[in-house]
Amino acid sequence: MKKTALHPSHLKYNAKMVEFAGYEMPIQYSSIKEEHHAVRNGAGVFDVSHMGEIQIVGKEASDLVDYIFSNNVRTLTAEQIQYGFMLYEDGGVVDDFLVYKINDQSYLFVVNAANKDKDYEWILKQNTFDADVIDKTDQFSEVALQGPRSEAILQSLTETDLSSLRTFTFTECTIDGETFLVSRTGYTGEDGFEVYGGHEATRSLFERLIDDYDVTPCGLGARDTLRFEAALPLYGHELSAEITPLEAGLSFAVSFEKEDFIGRKALEKQKEEGLRHRIVGLELLDKGILREGYEIYKDEDRIGRITSGYLSPTLEKPIAMALIDRPHTKKGTEVEIKVRKRMLKARVRNKKFLA
Amino acid sequence: MKVPKNLYYTDTHEWVKVDGDKALIGITDFAQNELGEIVFVELPEESDPVEKGEEFSAVESTKAASEIMSPVSGVIVEVNNELEEAPELLNEDPYKYWIVKIELEDESELETLKDADAYQKLIEE
């Protein structure tokens, strides 16, 4: 099993470790609930060094990215970031990720750890351009500092004015004497930063944040409850080779204005013919907790399944995201969920759980 | 990890405390620690019959649901309703807070369960 450079720190802070995407990663330190609330109300820091970094560089880098990515990277200026998808010809998703534009001839894809090798192979296969594809995953460590206190904390460690670093932009900056790439991004629904740097420098920063700034170390458990409450999709759950961005309700990251890209025709056809099913929000009306994989019924017919579900730590209510056949996706529709031996009542709602 | 001597145990981390012709059933210290903070307990109905090995309840943490298997056969004569409002009691003192009380159908089933030493060995593996 692979280990990140921060592995010794996880042991030092008494993390419970699990296998995730081939890495030994912290699932929690104190408790998922405590870590979750720390990010909503203060600040938490995550080791996300397992994320993949793939660089596209060369004269025709923009052309390659434009062809394999669903969103319109040509609208980006240097140091801007965009969310989008690589799609299969049939509109299914290879991966969802952020693209960092360094300049017209250099882009960085920050991809899901579990998909990295698949993504890299896919990009190589599509690369008929004058561009190089480089797997840089092992060269960086990465931490995510998330929560309303993040800016004040990080600001006290750098000369760079972070108040002017807008959401979905990045910059190079010196923190504690070391050079990092810092972006105003995250996966929690809170303000925060993702910080990329050398292995030792990132490990020191991680410990400094915890020891000197009272930042809570957070594991993959809280990372998932936080992204879930913010209705952010997770590949393999709300998106997959079988669930298109349109079905997931993420058409904002698909640009039909730009030139051809892989998967475009399939999505246009899907748009024209109408969707068969969609990702919706659910709230449980009976007592219990909705979990991934539970089946959903309407009048004895199976109409879908839960893709992610929790007792929301923030709302203290059982909510879920689910893939449901139309027309049962209409808000207010009452459905039944099979939970072990029981059938529990739930209602379709929007995904703005925190609004 | 606490493993009291006077209880019987299962491979699936339930404990059994015999009280006359009845058995109290709960989850072990090891189980609650593995689960993390418990946020919901699905309780069965009183007077439901259960078979040894049958799933009759579920204990859920923030992360996941874990099914509870009955270590013995019999009829559920009482459920611990306290856990409905305060599921975290199973974290605080897993051997004090039982989940159900079962009227034993066949006392010889107890012989198939592990004693404290055997269970201790199991969780050390």
**Mean pLDDT, 10 residues at a time, over chain B (125 residues)?**
94 96 96 94 94 95 94 97 96 97 95 96 92
The answer to whether residue A17 neighbours chain B at the CB level (below 8 Å) is: no
pLDDT at site B8 = 97
Q: How far apart are CA B77 and CA A18, in angstroms?
A: 39
Which CATH number goes with the domain that contains A87? 3.30.70.1400
Nearest to A65 by CA among A49, A76, A79: A76
Distances (CA, A) of A144 to A14, A23, A156, B82: 19, 17, 17, 40
Backbone angles phi, psi at B124, to 5 degrees: -80, -15
Nearest to A309 by CA among A331, A343, A339, A335: A339
| In a shared domain, residues A158 and A25 | yes
| In a shared domain, residues A22 and A144 | yes
Percent of chain B at pLDDT exceeding 90 = 98
User: What's the maximum distance between 2 C-alpha atoms anywhere in chain A?
Assistant: 63
User: What's the maximum distance between 2 C-alpha atoms anywhere in chain B?
Assistant: 37
pLDDT at site B1 = 86
Instruction: Residue B84: list chain A partners with CB under 8 A.
Output: 287
Q: Does a structural domain hold residue A225?
A: yes
Q: What does DSSP assign to residue A152?
A: H
Q: How far is B106 from chain A (nearest CA, A)?
A: 25
- The residue among A114, A133, A152 that closes a domain is A133
Q: Does a structural domain hold residue A2?
A: no
Instruction: Residue A291: list chain B partners with CB under 8 A.
Output: 64-65
pLDDT at site A254 = 98
pLDDT at site B71 = 96
Interhelix angle A32-41/A220-229, nearest 10 degrees: 50
- In the stretch 30-59 of chain B, residues with CB closer than 8 A to chain A read 36-37, 39-40, 42, 55, 58
- The residue among A77, A101, A133 that closes a domain is A133
Q: How far is A24 from chain B (nearest CA, A)?
A: 17
CATH class, range B8-105: mainly beta
| In a shared domain, residues A152 and A218 | yes
| In a shared domain, residues A21 and A168 | yes
Domain ranges of chain B: 8-105
Top residue of A35, A289, A311, A319 to mutate, by most chain B CBs within 10 Å, is A289
| In a shared domain, residues A59 and A100 | yes
Of B36, B58, B65, the CB nearest to A31: B36
Is the ipTM value over 0.85, yes or no? yes
| In a shared domain, residues A296 and A315 | yes
| In a shared domain, residues A153 and A221 | yes
Q: Are A95 and A264 in contact (CB under 8 A)?
A: no
Which residues lie across from A284 on neighbouring strands? A346
- The residue among A85, A101, A133 that closes a domain is A133
Q: Which two tokens stand for residue A303?
A: 């109409």
Q: Does a structural domain hold residue A340?
A: yes
Q: How far is A250 from chain B (nearest CA, A)?
A: 26
Nearest to A69 by CA among A135, A119, A137, A16: A119
pLDDT at site A134 = 98
pLDDT at site A233 = 98
Helix/strand/coil for A225 = helix
| In a shared domain, residues A29 and A70 | no
Helix/strand/coil for A252 = helix
Q: Which residue range(s) make up the domain with A86?
A: 52-133
| In a shared domain, residues A186 and A330 | no
pLDDT at site A259 = 83
| In a shared domain, residues A150 and A12 | yes
The answer to whether residue A313 neighbours chain B at the CB level (below 8 Å) is: yes
Q: Which amino acid is at A137?
A: T
Question: Would you write out chain A's pLDDT as a tens digit for each of its 355 residues?
Answer: 999 999 999 999 999 999 999 999 999 999 999 999 999 999 999 999 999 999 999 999 999 999 999 999 999 999 999 999 999 999 999 999 999 999 999 999 999 999 999 999 999 999 999 999 999 999 999 999 999 999 999 999 999 999 999 999 999 999 989 999 999 999 999 999 999 999 999 999 999 999 999 999 999 999 999 999 999 999 999 999 999 999 999 999 999 999 899 999 999 999 999 999 999 999 999 999 999 999 999 999 999 999 999 999 999 999 999 999 999 999 999 999 999 989 999 999 999 999 8
The answer to whether residue B4 neighbours chain A at the CB level (below 8 Å) is: no
pLDDT at site A355 = 85
**What is the count of structural domains for chain A?**
3
What length is written for chain B? 125
Top residue of B41, B43, B62, B67 to mutate, by most chain A CBs within 10 Å, is B62
Residues B89-105 pLDDT 10s:
999 999 999 999 999 99
pLDDT at site A176 = 85
